[in-house]
Structures are given as structure tokens and as C-alpha cells.
Structure 1
Amino acid sequence: MNRNKQIIPRVMVMNEQTIRFDFGPEMSQEIFRTIQQFCQVVENDRNHLLEEVVPSNKTVTVFYHKELVNPRATIEKLLTKWVHRTDSEFCVNRRAIEIPVCYDTLFSEDIPRICDHTGLTREEVIAIHTGTSYKVYMIGFLPGFPYLGELPEVLHVPRLEKPRLSVPQGTVGIGGTQTGIYPIESPGGWNIIGRTPLDLYCLKRVEPFLIRAGDQLQFRSISLETFNEMKEELAREPEMIMQFVKE
């Protein structure tokens, strides 16, 4: 018997074409596994009306191409399949992605603030950040922005009281209980600790988005010289970024 079978989501009809299934109230690895399985149940029931299935850290939103004639019937059908699912139905592909990060002082202006808050040295902050494997709980806020957990508790530092108006593309930051990567330049209030030469979102690639929900990420420290070399190489050959992904 599936041990998550008792987790039944709250259901909200958002509009004529959208239904949201809420597995809250808190983010956890158990809830995340449940959400991955629920997405697969929905995908296995795919028909011509289904447009997109979008998971977050606590919800699954299902979009349809046109107005549903009978939303209640659609919900009951999906929940029935969910309740009666079996473990043999699921085959979740987990990818491991290595993210090279330059923690040079040029790219890590908030590490001194983090050191003051935690009592750690710069070297310890970097070692802890790179020594942890992170799960991608959801993609959001910006195209391709990954919300990662679990950030070690010793690095839990409040976000900036006043967000910056502009955070450069590729910036790696931490805020509260999570760490993340800015895929494009944008405002932001996370503590800046480094920068990656990888483009998480690039329309020139066959797969524009590098990272997916469910991926496992590991940060690796690189020098400023290596950062510049990688940046130039990936600008010439965008598809080379896939060398950092292990299926």
C-alpha cells in the first residue's frame, strides 16, 4: 500500500479552465514526493483538454485548454485515480546537476553580513553551502528560478530589509531557510554569496530551462578565472551546459 495514500488535497476551482490541488500546509520532502506522484497521476490521465500541470512546493495547478463543462466530475475522476493509485505506476526521473559558483569577493557582497550573523568565517560559509545537496522544490518568481532545500540551519539568515533594485543574472543567494539562483537580472532581497556562469534560462538552447522541479543540485566552488572561461565558452556553445546534468 502506498504510504502517502491518506494525503488528500484540498481542491479549489480557480476559474473555468484551472483547478488547484493544495497539499499544504508546510513544505516538506514527504509533501514534495506526494506532489510529484500526483502530477504523474494527472499526466497519466492526459487527454486533449489538458494543457499544463504546474507543481509548486505545496500545490499542483492543472490548466485546461478550454472551459470545463463539469469541473466536479473532473475533480472526482482525478481524486479517485489518486486514491486508488499503486506504487508501480510511478517512475520519477531524478537528475543531478552540478552548479559551478564563483564565491570571489567580486560576487559575494553579503558574505560579510552572513559571517556577522552566524559567527562563521567566509571559508566556512562556502564550505557549508557547497557541502550540501539541495532538492529543487519548485520553479517560480522568475523564469527558471529554483527554490532549493534544505539549506543547513546554520546558514539561515534573514533576507535584506530593503531589497536591491537589481541583482545580476546568475547570482546565488540565500534567504531564510532557502537558497536559490537568479536566472535573469531582477530586483531581489536575498543575501548574495556568489555567481554561476551557467545560464539557467536561455532561448538559444533546445531546452531553454536548465533546472526542473525534482532535480538534485550540488554547488561547486570555482575561481574567478574559471568563471570567466566558462562564461565565454558557454556563450559560444550554449548546448555545452548539458555537461553539468547527470540523468
Structure 2
Amino acid sequence: MQKYSYSIITVGEQTVNVVFPNQINIKENLYIQHLNQLILARNDPGILASIPGYHTLTISFDIRIYDYNKIFKLIKNILEKKSFQIQSFHKRILEIPVCYDETLGPDIQDVAAFGKLSVKELIKIHTQVEYFVYMIGFLPGFAYMGTVPSQIAMPRLDRPRTKIPAGSVGIAGAQTGMYPVESPGGWRLIGQTPLKLYDAKHPKIRYQSGDFIRFKAITINEFKAIQDRDSSGEYQIKISEVGE
């Protein structure tokens, strides 16, 4: 497995960032996810949280157990061991239904025009890619995913909307994502999933960093039917698992 250069910087009284080369790269992110898994597997009471980002891992620690020297040493010891390698790559692909009707994706015509495509061609391109979940953030369950084909990678809005419906699917440059709850946002909205992506009463998220998401185009009638099935607990996300 390729080794990546890194630095460790302090970002708070009990938090450090492990910073890797600044890039959006699946292999580097898997490297970060592997480090995250090894740290969490320790079940160390001194580690309060470990949160992977695009090219960083943020680690919060209990200052009664670790000081900066000890936490730096712990991270370096893990990263520099010869045994630090990904033995196999387990790929989990979740199929998320999305309705690309203009009533649910108000920017779909603009994104199609940006790519010099018909809406039908845009939908085909967006649904052909398996998008890697680099990180969860901004909102509970908001997955930052890539990579969007350059032809449809339209930059975000100059002026964000003040309210976006939960389930909206958008594009912001090379990223695509789903809004799990109603919120402000500046991504180009091209559709909506009927699935409830986040529920504060039952906060378990249906996907995680390291997963792959593939969108499946559905009609407006299918949208309503799936929404009803999902709200009653009858709908199950199709999941494929591949070992490499």
C-alpha cells in the first residue's frame, strides 16, 4: 500500500488534525479511513472522537489521559508500523432512488445546459457513476461524495437558498450529495430521494464514510410509492458488496 506524507497539527485544547496531501483521492481517503478504524478499534478511553475528512483525520482526546506529546506519539506509532496496510478492499454499494423531475430538482435544466446535454442525458450520466462517500459532515447524514463527471460538474450557486427540502440531491463542482434534513444550501438541485435520510429520534445513518452510492432514476409516481413504503419501514435499500 502506498504511504502518504502527513503532518500532525493542534486545532484545540484536546484536538489534533492528521493532515495528508490536499487532494480528493479515493486511495488516500481509504488510507485515512483505515487509520480511523485502527484508532477506534483500540477502544481507548482517552480517545473521545475520530472523524475522517477528505484529506484529514480529526482526533479529540481526553487531556486527563493524553497530552499532545503522547497523542502525537500514538498516531506516529500506528502510521509508521510496517503492519499498517490495507489487506483487502471491501466495497459496499448502496442504491439510492432519486426522482429527477423538475418539480423536485429546480436546477436540473441549468445543469443540463452547463453540460450541453438534454435532461435525459444528464440523468444518464449522473446515475452511471458509483460515488465514493469521502466524509459525513455539515449536517447529520450529509455525505460528501465524488467524483462527478466534469461535463456536469457545475459550480454551486452564487447565492445559497435559505430552505432546501430534505432528500434533495445536488451537485457542487466535482461533488454530489443529499440533504438529509431541510436546511439552507448552495448546491445545484437536480432531484430528490424519497428516502428519509436522517431521523433525530432514530439517529442511525444508513450509509457511512467509505461506502459507495449509486443513484437509480425513478418516476414521480414511484417517488410517492417508495416514500410511503419507507415511512412505514417496508423499503429496504439495495446493497451490493464486493471484495477486492
TM, length-normalised to structure 1: 0.90
For residues 63-92 of structure 1, the C-alpha deviation after alignment (integer angstroms, 9 at most, x for no partner) is: 224445432122112212211142667566
Report what 1:211 is aligned to: 207
For residues 22-101 of structure 1, the aligned pairs below 5 Å read 22-86=19-83, 93-101=90-98
8 Å CA contact 2:46, 2:66 repeated in 1: no
Distance 1:232 1:193, change over 3 A: same
Distance 1:22 1:37, change over 3 A: same
Deviation of 1:12 (Å)? 1.3
8 Å CA contact 2:7, 2:20 repeated in 1: yes
For residues 138-170 of structure 1, the C-alpha deviation after alignment (integer angstroms, 9 at most, x for no partner) is: 111111001111111111112111111111000
| Unaligned ranges ≥5, structure 1 | none
Distance 1:188 1:65, change over 3 A: same
Instruction: Choose between structure 1 and 2: higher helix proportion.
Output: 1
Distance 1:87 1:11, change over 3 A: closer
8 Å CA contact 1:16, 1:68 repeated in 2: no
Deviation of 1:43 (Å)? 2.4
2:108 to 88, 106, 111: 111
Identity percentage of aligned residues: 32
Rounded to whole Å, the distance in 2 between the matches of 1:38 and 1:10 is: 14
8 Å CA contact 2:131, 2:214 repeated in 1: yes
TM, length-normalised to structure 2: 0.91
Report what 1:19 is aligned to: 16
Distance 1:78 1:142, change over 3 A: same
| Unaligned ranges ≥5, structure 2 | none
Rounded to whole Å, the distance in 2 between the matches of 1:243 and 1:173 is: 20
Report what 1:220 is aligned to: 216
Distance 1:89 1:122, change over 3 A: closer
Report what 2:237 is aligned to: 243
Report what 2:134 is aligned to: 137
Rounded to whole Å, the distance in 1 between the matches of 2:12 and 2:155 is: 36
Structure 1 vs Structure 2 CA RMSD: 2.0
For residues 20-49 of structure 1, the C-alpha deviation after alignment (integer angstroms, 9 at most, x for no partner) is: 111132221222121112112322433221
Count of paired positions: 241
